[in-house]
Chains A and B, each alone.
Chain A
Amino acid sequence: MADYVSALLGGMLIGLSAVILMLANGRVAGVSGIAGRLLHGVQTATGTAFVVGLMSGPVFFRLFFGEWPAILLSADWPLIIAGGLLVGYGSRMGSGCTSGHGVVGLARLSRRSLAAVGTFMGTAVATVYLMGFFQ
């Protein structure tokens, strides 16, 4: 399957998953929000179920295609720790991440989410650009 076709189909499944959660439970499929509430012991049953489901995704992929999805993570450990801290802190402070603001917020035409997505896409692109000078 061509890369852009699997990207489009995968994206559509992500959109479908967000619709299911809103249609059934009336909840935003925002991973940082779900993770943050788990951290506080809020909505633990549905939150845990969502995360277990999320983790089963690559396993179903393996059952379906006979191999694990390709992963290349080249960042060294200090960078991984710094990146993880920023992703965690920033997503709580900005009330969302790629899924909540990106998939659900944009689809709901939320101005806040549009501002958030524009901002994090901008700083992510700038970060990759600047890091390119040191590699």
Chain B
Amino acid sequence: MNRIAAYRVVAALLSGAIFGFGLALSGMLNPARVRGFLDIARDWDPTLAFVLAGAVLVSAAGMALVRRMAKPLLDSRFHLPETVVIDRRLIAGSAMFGVGWGMVGLCPGPALALLSLGLPAVVLFVAAMFAGMAAHDRLQGARLWNRA
């Protein structure tokens, strides 16, 4: 591994750690809170809307600055999705994802972050999640847009 590639690994580690700490601070790691946020028709807990608001605000400001750069600090180009069409796969997949998220209150980021707590229910969820991913890629093809 050359030096730049090693720096990329460090950047990914740092990004993941800040992401995980942010999830823990925000309340997003708690499935009961997430389901309370989604329960808009009964006793809605709107606080987690602040998580998305804060994240998108900072992300949008940062991305606007990054967009002016010719390339990222540690790579020769940006790796961004090129598809622009809103197709059936996008909508059907997102619909399925939302059903699973609502059922349990976990999405991939919090589920992986919570592995460090060693809860059997979370380990089971992550195993099922990877099985679902593998099943999709077996049946539909992997279609990894940024394989390079």
Q: Which residues of A contact B (CB under 8 A)?
A: 3-4, 6-29, 31-33, 35-37, 39-40, 42, 45-47, 49-61, 64, 68-75, 77, 79-95, 97-99, 101-104, 106-108, 110-112, 115-117, 119-129, 131-132
Cβ contact of A58, chosen from B20, B74, B121, cutoff 8 A: B20
Interface size on B, residues (CB 8 A): 120
**A-B interface pairs (CB < 8 A), number:** 500
Given contacts A22-B78, A40-B142, contact A127 B19 (CB under 8 A): no
Interface mask (B1-43 → A, CB under 8 Å = 1, otherwise 0): 1000101111111111111111111111111110100111110
Question: In the docked arrangement, what's the CA distance between A114 and B30, Å?
Answer: 25
Can you give 18 A-B contacts (C-beta < 8 A)?
A10-B23, A13-B18, A16-B62, A20-B11, A24-B7, A57-B19, A58-B116, A69-B25, A84-B132, A87-B107, A95-B89, A95-B93, A102-B52, A112-B85, A115-B86, A119-B91, A120-B101, A123-B97
Chain B at the A interface: mostly helix, strand, loop or mixed? helix
A87 CB to nearest B CB, Å: 4
Question: In the docked arrangement, what's the CA distance between A74 and B125, Å?
Answer: 13
Q: Is the CB of A57 within 8 A of B24?
A: yes
Interface residues of B in 49-83 (CB under 8 A from A): 49-63, 66, 69, 71-75, 77-81, 83
In the complex, which residues of chain A have a beta carbon less than 8 angstroms from the beta carbon of B105? 73, 75
Q: Is the CB of B86 within 8 A of A111?
A: yes
Q: Is the CB of B96 within 8 A of A61?
A: no
Q: Is the CB of A17 within 8 A of B133?
A: no
Q: Is the CB of B22 within 8 A of A13?
A: yes
A63 CB to nearest B CB, Å: 10
Q: Is the CB of A103 within 8 A of B55?
A: yes
B66 CB to nearest A CB, Å: 5
Q: Is the CB of B74 within 8 A of A7?
A: no
Cβ contact of A115, chosen from B16, B77, B91, B129, cutoff 8 A: B91
Q: Is the CB of A4 within 8 A of B47?
A: yes
Q: Is the CB of A24 within 8 A of B11?
A: yes
